[in-house]
Chains A and B, each alone.
Chain A
């Protein structure tokens, strides 16, 4: 699979910060007589600065697979992904080091993002205040509740002010107030120019999304104008 950054080409392409074309992915195994599981078969998707894009689809449709390919942590079998700018990724399950404190987690990932100590501290304080986990900065990750762990998971994804933010059900475990705060925060980021793509399962979220892509039979359709038919209405996640 080709990965290009930054992209060139036509006007639309210049505006897009992330563009995936003809993405194909089949999960297989080298073990004989095991099943091949085709997931994506020519998926296309474009994300522009300042918009919040929803990716919906039934359980097992391939949403998380597509997102991992967009992030760059999983290779597609075919197709291209063009990225411009930095990426922030919030996986569905918090992929963090359990024995580190929240502050140490910021330090480690901040050094990964190549941020200075001052930048890391500023981002930590700003996000802890914004997402309301200031009192847990000295807690170890494995001592946090599910909701607070998810807040840290999200904060780590945005601490370096990425140009593109890819979120895989980032609100799992949030209470209603935090859920509302999350959407206000996402809108602020989008208004500041961040492009956001988010896997979503909730019908009521459609009103908050600028565009909606639906994954079905391995391909992606823009269903922004089509209402809610065919989408899963549960908050149960999947890892396909």
Chain B
């Protein structure tokens, strides 16, 4: 417990000492949410969806903004700390405890990023069920923080990893949920990371309902992601790889 507390605290300190992180977290929501809203405002309304494209665009922007920031932060945290992590583990710090501290820190950051995005969204669209909408947005952030951590554990290079996270988040935000950009999408899109958080957000923001099925799916999704990240991280921190070459 002492190690987890110390690890989370030091991870958070290291995070807030990176000015670019804070600038990204504060500036991006404004730009992305209103940017997407205005970009989609001119699109025709969907016959099956009552919401106007402007609001759908803003929600898409909020989800995308949270996903991209949390995902990239997850990626960067894993890649930048990789070498020092190995030394820390060699010093006796358990690999799973180290991963737990990093994921806890990412969860805190993802929720904070979601709060900033939700603040902007709340001013612009006045959601029907604000707390539920915030929960959905926070879950989108946590899911993508874990996705970023997973990509960072698999692809230990910043440029290539960033491309994976950015393209995945863009495709995900476009195709998931109700969107004038993609009215008819294939079934497998349901398994994209943002599909269910976005559906939960739209349901809470536009109809004021708690989409329990969507939240349950996201919880399961997080459990699977956690298992994947733990497995990959543990494997990559083992000694048999090429890393030390």
A105-163 contacts to B, CB under 8 A, are: 107-109, 111-114, 140, 156, 160
Contact A99 B13 (CB under 8 A): yes
How many of chain A's residues have a CB under 8 angstroms from any CB in B? 33
Stretch at the interface among A43-51, A66-74, A173-181: A66-74
Are A107's CB and B13's CB within 8 A? no
Give the docked Cα–Cα distance between A73 and B83 (Å). 11
The reply to whether B18 and A99 form a contact with Cβ atoms under 8 Å apart is yes
Bound complex: CA A160 to CA B89 (Å): 15
Interface of A is mostly: loop
User: Which listed residue (B83, B91, B244) contacts A112, Cβ 8 A?
Assistant: B91
- Cβ contacts under 8 Å, B244 to chain A: 64-65, 68, 73-74
Interface string of B82-97 (1 = CB under 8 A from A): 0110111111110000
Q: Find out whether the CB atom of A100 lies under 8 angstroms from the CB atom of B14.
A: yes
Q: Which of B13, B80, B83, B239 contacts A100 (CB 8 A)?
A: B13
- Inter-chain CA distance A113–B92, complex, in Å, is 5
- Shortest C-beta distance, A161 to chain B (Å), equals 13
Closest to A96 in B: B84
Interface size grouping (class) on chain B: 20 to 34
> Which residues from chain B contact A113 at a C-beta distance below 8 Å?
91-92
**B23 CB to nearest chain A CB (Å):** 16
The answer to whether B239 and A111 touch across the interface, beta carbons within 8 angstroms, is: no
Check B240 against A75 for contact (C-beta < 8 Å).
Answer: yes
- One digit per residue, 1 when the CB lies within 8 angstroms of any chain B CB and 0 when it does not, for chain A 48-83 equals 000000000000000011001001111100000000
Do residues A109 and B88 form an inter-chain contact, with CB atoms below 8 A?
A: yes
Q: Judging by beta carbons under 8 Å apart, are A112 and B14 in contact?
A: no
B7 within 8 A of A: yes
Q: Which residues from chain B contact A96 at a C-beta distance below 8 Å?
A: 84, 87
Also in contact, A73 and B86, with CB within 8 A (given A108-B10, A111-B2)? yes
Residues of chain A contacted by B10 (CB below 8 angstroms): 97, 100, 104, 107-108
Interface contact A112-B88, CB-CB below 8 Å: yes
Q: Is the CB of B6 within 8 A of A108?
A: yes
With an 8 A cutoff between CB atoms, is A89 at the interface? yes
| Between-chain CB contacts (< 8 Å), 17 pairs | A28-B242, A64-B244, A71-B90, A74-B240, A74-B243, A89-B90, A91-B87, A95-B84, A96-B87, A97-B10, A97-B14, A99-B13, A108-B7, A108-B93, A112-B3, A140-B17, A156-B91
